[in-house]
Structure 1
Amino acid sequence: MKKALKGFLFFAMAILVLAGCSTKAPGSSEKSSGEKKVNEKLKIGLSVSTLNNPFFVTLKEGAEKEAKNQDVELIVVDAQNDSAKQVSDIEDLIQQGVDVLVVNPTDSSAVAAAIESANKADVPVITVDRSAEGGEVVSHIASDNVAGGQMAGDFILEKLGKKGKVVELEGIPGSSAARERGEGFHKSVDPESAIEVVAKQSADFDRAKGLSVMENILQANKDVQAVFAHNDEMALGALQALEAAGLKDVLVVGFDATDDAVKAVEEGKMAATVAQKPALIGEYGIGTAIKVAKGEKTEEFIPVELELIKK
């Protein structure tokens, strides 16, 4: 009996020693810190500035389609054009353990704090359509907004014969898209001394605000001959204001080529829109996120081509 007891105690002590030598939990397997567990899906977070805009809805749908094709998990959050909410949303995505973040900033400056939080958590960040002014971003995917703004300006110059009064409706102050599209537009029209930008106001990329801002501008500028809006939603709002005022010969040029804007161009109501490809931007965002997660090298800037849509 004593021999049996001694044998049992020796066996038990041997098990304890072996267990103490191992830092792994029972059933676990060795893996590097950056390696996904077997059969565990890659998790990507997508923070969109607003889903109250057809352009960003299409971008989201492009991202969702590619995520499904690549069999990765995609979590989409809507900042509702609120920079504080976007920061909170991104912090929440980090807590949910996303492997890569794809961010479409509401405000290029305000989003920097959230990107820095992702950097501290070792979560790679990719920006789409709009850039960020702080934090480390591995890749930015967008159309060349400066070139697009210049494309719109050149079209207006051609149609007006390089003279006339023009209104510019700006996007959300602080967003890279608004800044860059405005920069390109003024590169085109400013050298022409016969072109006068009689009003330049923000309408926050919003159709209802485009309508109200344009109504106010028309009170002092009934003789305006063209409008350049930094996106189609504002352009369509401006078009409503012009039609209500009985001004049907004013050139209206937008940016994005949303379905409503393309239809307005085909019907001769809008003069033109600069076509981006939001579905492709969303698709590239997911594709690039997968490459980053695999440790593959990506370009710092991935351009998406532009096209001027006119009748």
Structure 2
Amino acid sequence: MNPSRWRRGRAVLPIALALLAAAACSKGTATPAAGGGGGALPKTLVFSPLSLAPPALKGLSEGVKGYASSKGWEVIVQDPNFDATKQTQQLNEVISSGRAGAAWIIAVAPKSMGQILKTAQAKGVPVLVNGQPGEYGYSGPQPGITFDYIDYTAGGKALGEQLGKCMNEKLGGKGKVLFAVSTEGQAGKAEFEKAALDALKATAPGATLVQNVIAADRTKAQTDIGNALQGNPDLAAVMGANDEGALGALGAFSAAGKPLTCVTDFGGNDEVLKDVTDGKIYASVALQFQADMTQSFDTLVKMQADPKANGEVLIVPQKVVTKNG
């Protein structure tokens, strides 16, 4: 659930929730800790996503609240609506008040989080933020702060390898490729795209990249890929850096009445995975958010016992999913 991943495609999050398991024995709400954490922290999770506008994030917030209440936890859900200033103001209010027992933040702008993280440390409130330490100005794990990030290099490598395999199997290793990329400024963009293209070249040297199209959302991606298809009617393969790119490509080729022989995806939402099962998408490098949610909340619960100890650096699990499993 790295923030850049939401800004790159934002429909990749399955709503199935198996998080908060480690809180099962924590019933009720304790007295808020004062100052630097001299008392028990309340069993209250502050969940601050980028926004509640995306259906997946709205669904996630509802799922977290429902599951947490069954485990004796309260969840305070905030909605900064993609506004970094609003997000820091909301977080500062609830953390400074002593109501927060832990905070899970999908930061709109990681560099704006400096004072919030210091406030949480001073209050002894453990925090999990999405991204790597360097995005927040740190060189490694910090007291009371856990970082959770997507390994974009590994994801890009898997994406390119899978498209190369498809082209070797179905196109004799040759053909024109379109790359549906993420928008400019997204964290991980450069290393992801380089890894994907390097892996494609290594796996299917005869593949030729002819165009990049920015896949900001599915509708625009479909339109832009349709336009690219008019200029390159013999396009045979598409690499989707997000679900919108892959699904937009399927829509564009279908609208043009042309077959799309090879398409691979990075993200793995439910619709994409169904298309993989149906053979429309060759492979998806699927982010395992359910597993990530579990490890993230388990870590926050553990951190409550010693909020001044260094947190962890977690990696969102990934899995290559093909029609055969």
* TM-score scaled by length of structure 2: 0.71
Runs of 4+ in 1 over 4 A off after TM superposition: 28-32, 50-66, 129-132, 190-193, 296-299
CA distance in 2, matches of 1:263, 1:195: 27
Q: Which amino acid aligns with 2:42?
A: K
Match of 2:300 in 1: 289
Q: 1:129 to 1:294 in 2, by over 3 A?
A: same
- Please list the CA deviations of residues 99-139 of structure 1 after superposition, one character each: whole Å capped at 9, or x if unmatched: 44322245xxx3311x1121342355422368772345632
Separation (CA, whole Å) in 1 of partners of 2:32 and 2:321: 56
Contact 2:223–2:252 (CA under 8 A) maintained in structure 1: yes
Query: 1:72 aligns to what?
Result: 73
- Counterpart CA distance in 2 for 1:277 and 1:157 is 23
1:157-196 C-alpha deviation (Å, 9 max, x unpaired): 1121243221111223322254443233123124565322
* Pair 1:35 & 2:38 matched: yes
Deviation at 1:92, TM superposition (A): 0.9
Identity %: 25
* Matched residue SS, 1:34: coil
Count residues with an aligned counterpart. Answer: 274
- Check whether the contact 2:265–2:285 (CA below 8 A) recurs between aligned residues: yes
Aligned to 1:122: 120
2:231 is the counterpart of 1:229: no
Q: Report the aligned-residue RMSD.
A: 3.2
Shift of 1:242: 1.1
- Residue 213 (structure 2) aligned to one of 201, 224, 234: 201
Q: How do 1:61-140 residues align onto structure 2 when only pairs under 5 Å count? A: 63-64=64-65, 67-68=68-69, 70-80=71-81, 82=82, 85-97=83-95, 98-106=100-108, 110-113=109-112, 115-123=113-121, 124-128=126-130, 133-136=135-138, 138-140=145-147
CA distance in 2, matches of 1:231, 1:168: 10
CA distance in 2, matches of 1:224, 1:207: 19
* Whole-Å separation in 2 of the counterparts to 1:293 and 1:100: 7
Q: How big is each residue's C-alpha offset from its partner over 1:68-97, in whole Å with a ceiling of 9 and x where there is no partner?
A: 4653332233455x3xx1441232122122
Asked if residue 278 in structure 1 is aligned to residue 280 in structure 2, the reply is no
1:277, 1:198 → 2: CA distance? 31
**Structure 2 residue aligned with 1:11:** none
1:59, 1:280 within 8 Å by CA — same for their partners in 2? no
Amino acid at match of 1:118: I
The 5 A counterparts of 1:159-238 are: 159-161=166-168, 162-191=173-202, 193-204=205-216, 206-238=217-249
Q: 1:64 to 1:284 in 2, by over 3 A?
A: farther
Q: How does 1:9-28 map to 2 (within 5 A)?
A: none
CA-CA distance at 1:47 after TM superposition: 2.5
Indicate the SS of the match to 2:78.
strand
